[in-house]
Structure 1
Amino acid sequence: MSSRRSFLQNTALGIAGSVTLPLLGKAAGLPSIDDNLNSAQDAEPLPVGVAGYTFAKFDLDKSIAMMKRLGVSNLSLKEIHLPLNASQEAVNTAMAKLREGGINVYTVGVIYMKTKEAVDQAFAYAKKCGVNMIIGAPSYDVLDHAEEKVKEYDIRLAIHNHGPEDALYPGPKDVYDRIKDRDARIGLCIDIGHATRAGVAVDKAVKEYKKRLFDLHIKDVSVAAKEGKAIEIGRGAINFPALVKALKKTGYKGVCSIEFEKDMTDPMPGIAESIGYFKGVMKAAL
């Protein structure tokens, strides 16, 4: 296992090295990262995406450019790049720009909902963006209202866990216990890094909550404890082969969105290494 892990890490590092090239590398005749990352895309059992918070330090245009360099097309759109109160015209302009860049916005979020008004805004925003799912973190006292909106809009709500510091949803079970008897369109977005810091074995969580698992935020952490820090995927505490096997066994149909929170002002090398490692693990599991 250790030799295979080293091989996958070295392969990912080789891919990561190419991201030091300018973002306009393809236009300048230089190789694009997607040549490395997409060669076996059709064989991959799980679609890979990016959680928009990864690009929190960059505007929409630069985020699109980075996704194109990475060869990833699925995006969980964060309001950093398109405000929740944006007009329909502004939304249409942004979504057209994303489509022209080859980006598929498959969901929006994470959106925090502390009031009924915030819930209303989130669902109206998702409708304007034309997506059928919200990654959200609603307060307990607005869950009933959120369920009403799920039924009204026929838009799924995937509730995101945020680790041991989170008073609402530290781990997946804290989400599941609140939604298990609610509308089947309310489920989980398991953030595997935060779940691991909360003491959860994520492969077991995938199996346990498979019927309500809508989305995944994929990351790694230095240690499986509260003090764990974001790190490149494959270098930390999470057993990714076990996770991928669990996803295959349960027939997971959602997106695996990379959320990279280390070196956020210069994330490309770390994201590329992370994607390379994760795709390598998926290929090994085929």
Structure 2
Amino acid sequence: MQAGHLSRRSFLAAAASTSCLMTSRSLQAAPDFGGFTVGVQSYTFRNFDLEGMLKRTKQLGLKHAEFFSKHIPTDSTPEKLTAILKLCKEYEVTPIGFGVSGFSKNHDANRKLFEFGKAIGANYLSADPSMDSFDSLDKLCEEYKIAIAIHPHGPVGKGRHQWCSAEVILRAVKDHHKLIGTCLDTGHLLRMEQLGEKLDPAEQIKLMGERNFALHLKDYDNKKREDVPFGDPAGQLDVQAVLKALKSAKFTGHIAIEYEANPDDPAPDVKKCIAHLKNAAEKLG
């Protein structure tokens, strides 16, 4: 994913022009989610345009989103970005993260993505960085105070994604900037069972500790190899255990519900996920 050709000045102008529309990096903790900030990964609604995605997110009662590039393109002009953020404001859905984005040792290209993140008011960029990108990311995290949240993808083909687990991520980031950590994905962690590895999402969260900046929350049926709503008998995710682990890690980031099945009409299943999550939060107390 590329950040397009906007200059630093253009991005800053876009950020300034939208400052009255969005409160940058503001998180609203919802009492019915146990104090956690819960939103959606907009990829869930990838078969819809931006307004269709925002409309469905609002109907579900969610007020935050981690956006992906179809819904907020990284090559947006300042004028288009202003219009996009105005529409988000109208639907009361705040961009709080963006991704998943690739990062390399190309510092200028990385900076463009940070400029883009700043312009939309992102707290974090969920990321798939190359191993040689960290020197650049150290500098940019310090400058922009935007977190890099490395996202595991579990199995890729017959092998492992380079960021397949918290153990792998922690080894890579432990000596780097404190704002480089994870956006763990519970579904991809569960998918590692396909390679004979059982990864407990709650334990993975505990391992990352203060370096948890966001979470993609999903459940997965390894037999049918597809996402299922939280609480589905075919699923594996213990949502209450995940919330308990997040509390123990003093997590203050964004829980993004992501649902990759049924892309033409995911809202009914996401509604089930929300109900199950609220119930788990209530039981946790």
- Counterpart Cα distance in 2 of 1:152 and 1:210: 23
Residue 227 of structure 1 and its aligned partner are, at CA, apart by 7.4
Partner of 1:230 in structure 2? 227
Partner of 2:170 in structure 1? 176
Give the match's secondary structure for 2:260.
coil
1:126 counterpart letter in structure 2: G
Q: 1:44 aligns with which of 26, 29, 34?
A: 34
Runs (5+) with no aligned partner, structure 1:
1-39
Residue 98 of structure 1 and its aligned partner are, at CA, apart by 0.2
Residue 115 of structure 1 and its aligned partner are, at CA, apart by 5.7
Q: Which moved more, 1:148-157 or 1:275-284?
A: 148-157
Partner of 2:140 in structure 1? 149
Residue 164 of structure 1 and its aligned partner are, at CA, apart by 2.1
Q: TM-score scaled to structure 2, two decimals?
A: 0.81
Residue 216 of structure 1 and its aligned partner are, at CA, apart by 0.4
- Counterpart Cα distance in 2 of 1:118 and 1:269: 39
Partner of 1:211 in structure 2? 210
Structure 2 contact 34–282 (Cα < 8 Å) conserved: yes
Residue 213 of structure 1 and its aligned partner are, at CA, apart by 0.6
Residue 43 of structure 1 and its aligned partner are, at CA, apart by 6.5
Give the match's secondary structure for 1:134.
strand
2:110 counterpart letter in structure 1: V
Q: Deviations over 1:61-97 (max 9, x none)?
A: 1111101110000111111111111112211110111
Runs (5+) with no aligned partner, structure 2:
1-29, 193-197
Q: 1:100 aligns with which of 82, 90, 93?
A: 90
Structure 1 contact 161–170 (Cα < 8 Å) conserved: yes
Q: Deviations over 1:31-85 (max 9, x none)?
A: xxxxxxxxx8457221211011111111011111101110000111111111111
RMSD: 1.8
2:227 counterpart letter in structure 1: A
- Counterpart Cα distance in 1 of 2:220 and 2:70: 24
Q: Deviations over 1:202-234 (max 9, x none)?
A: 1111111111111000000113xx974211112
Q: Residues 211, 284 of structure 1: CA spacing in aligned structure 2 closer, same or farther, 3 A cutoff?
A: same
- Counterpart Cα distance in 1 of 2:59 and 2:73: 25
Q: 1:60 aligns with which of 50, 55, 70?
A: 50
Give the match's secondary structure for 2:265.
coil
Give the match's secondary structure for 2:155.
coil
- Counterpart Cα distance in 2 of 1:261 and 1:43: 22
- Counterpart Cα distance in 2 of 1:61 and 1:284: 35
1:212 counterpart letter in structure 2: R
- Counterpart Cα distance in 2 of 1:233 and 1:41: 20
1:242 aligns to 2:241 (yes or no): yes
1:101 counterpart letter in structure 2: Y
Q: 1:167 aligns with which of 161, 167, 172?
A: 161
Q: Residues 101, 124 of structure 1: CA spacing in aligned structure 2 closer, same or farther, 3 A cutoff?
A: same
- Counterpart Cα distance in 1 of 2:247 and 2:133: 34
- Counterpart Cα distance in 2 of 1:132 and 1:253: 11
- Count of residues in correspondence between the two structures: 245
Q: Residues 43, 55 of structure 1: CA spacing in aligned structure 2 closer, same or farther, 3 A cutoff?
A: closer
Q: Which segments of structure 1 move beyond 3 Å, counting only runs of 4 or more?
A: 40-43
- Counterpart Cα distance in 2 of 1:157 and 1:76: 13
